[in-house]
Amino acid sequence: MIIAPSLLAADFTRLGKEAERAERAGADWLHLDIMDGQFVPNISFGPDVVAAVRPHAKKLFFDVHLMCGKPEILLEPFAKAGADQIIIHVELHQQVTPLIWKIKSLGKKVGLAINPPTSIAEVQPYLDKIDLLLVMTVNPGFGGQSFIHECLPKIQQADAWRREKKLNYRLEVDGGINNATVAECARAGADTFVAGTALFRQHNMGAAVKKMRKIAHDNDPGLADLKL
């Protein structure tokens, strides 16, 4: 089970220190939401910020989520800035395949994200080409939103396809993830959890990460099957 604090919920006046705090807390990944004000109605940060944060969390896997209308111009800058994985959106349609191959050519892992209104069937053609599928559980653009429970069947379907096709992509969820919703998502088959306010806003982030990971682990349906 991967726990990935989202830097979008951090204190923007001290991003380097916040990244250090996530690493000390025992997080596995650091999730970085990149918004361009066009694909989503918000602007976050660019490759220079990611490059500045990278030395403060050398052990963390940088999970860079591009919510951008023209990701093709951003892939190389974010790869150079320290991204380990770059996530693009299935809603980019015909751009998806060339973007996947470009990310691979840069030596980075490939993630594919899907928004709540989009049919899960849209991701099917790409499942054997990606390292991670991100099921958004809020409409992207702003942190602190409430979890959309209607997204749970998408997670279940994505997990079923993974098992049927014997594929190895990680199944990530992002949006409204807390100790209650992480359990629901783990039961549905998710194994990678992005949480912003539920982690960065805690005084003891280490305890929060540990508790969230335990809840996810305890609700892993695979482990439940083994116990039977």
Rounded distance between C-alpha atoms, residue 90 and residue 8, angstroms: 22
Beta carbons of 11 and 18 less than 8 angstroms apart: yes
Give me the pLDDT at residue 140, please: 81
pLDDT for position 222: 74
Q: 67 lies in which domain range? A: 2-227
| Residue positions annotated with a catalytic role | 33, 174
CA angle, 227 as apex, 163 and 158 as ends, to 5°? Answer: 20
Residue 142 has what pLDDT? Answer: 72
SS3 content of the chain, % helix, strand, coil (to 5): 50, 20, 30
What pLDDT was estimated at residue 227? 41
Closest CA to 33 of 89, 103, 91: 89
Distance CA 35, CA 46 (A): 8
- Angle made by CA atoms 99, 102, 108, in degrees to the nearest 5: 105
3-state secondary structure of 120: helix
**Radius of gyration for the chain, computed over Cα atoms and rounded to the nearest angstrom:** 16
CATH (domain of 111): 3.20.20.70
* pTM of the predicted structure, to 2 decimals: 0.95
Q: Which residues pair with 2 in a beta bridge?
A: 192
Kindly give the parts of the chain with pLDDT less than 70: 143, 223-228
The pLDDT of residue 223: 61
- When divided into structural domains, the chain yields a total of 1
